[in-house]
Structure 1
């Protein structure tokens, strides 16, 4: 079974703004499926949405909604090997080298989807349902925080020898694409006051 991704995961994996992915949903380029993941239902998109978002980001050609739907339909019929050599004719005399535009990003996206499903758990009995790496109490947000503040994957693996690089990378992508909601921690008003001096 092919991996499925939330709109934020598609945006993160393709380096595309989330509004681009949301626009594709609005234009009915993709239909979302509601899937229970962790504690809540999430809108999920098919894996080829990552390739679509990459193409839309990289091609400087204005496509109408019908073209976008045609592209998405064609992408849905390809496997990763076919994607590497596929060329798509947008309209007469306008052709895209999709393999060159997408590169190996679909393999990375599929690897992330597999690692996410295998290694990231949201269990109400562990840290109140905060996503953690399976078999640990290490939250994905603590991993992302360490990477954001200068630690490397090697640093994290030396502190937690039972983890794998795959788990650390999946945790970081998951944390970026599933941000915490609520009031920010610390005292953000204090930092703003110091900047105004």
Structure 2
């Protein structure tokens, strides 16, 4: 493998560890359903228990990746870029939620903002892949459909769909990792 290809593959590796996205997506879904007081998820203890389970799953997934694919750290420049993007994400999403809460619109600004933020995250990080475009477009279109109802539903259903989009993108990212680096455990440990 040429040096440039190897550097590119190493840079993408940290972004392609998509199984990490599943517990993150589950937290969004739990948060939304808890806020909507859906079934037993409206109980006070459910979300903290979900956070503990998601953190445990995240650590287990990290261990899986370390053991089966090794570890590569992004460059300092990539880490700074990710930090700036993370701050921008926070501002955009909080702004969208506040607008969703205060404006009586038939669309979900929360879902639309998450679609744009996810799209930007992937574009800045590893570059857009076809599945990112499809998942983000689906989330954005769903947010733009005029059926969302009151602010609680617009915000929480937007969070729920964002959680599903994050998890689905992560599954496809992991599949891309497998295509680029081979199946888990396929590394020469010699």
TM-score by length of 2: 0.27
Greater percentage in strand: 1
Greater percentage in helix: 2
Taking CA–CA contacts closer than 8 Å with sequence separation of 6 or more, which of the two structures ends up with the larger relative contact order?
2
Compare CA radii of gyration and give the structure with the larger one: 1
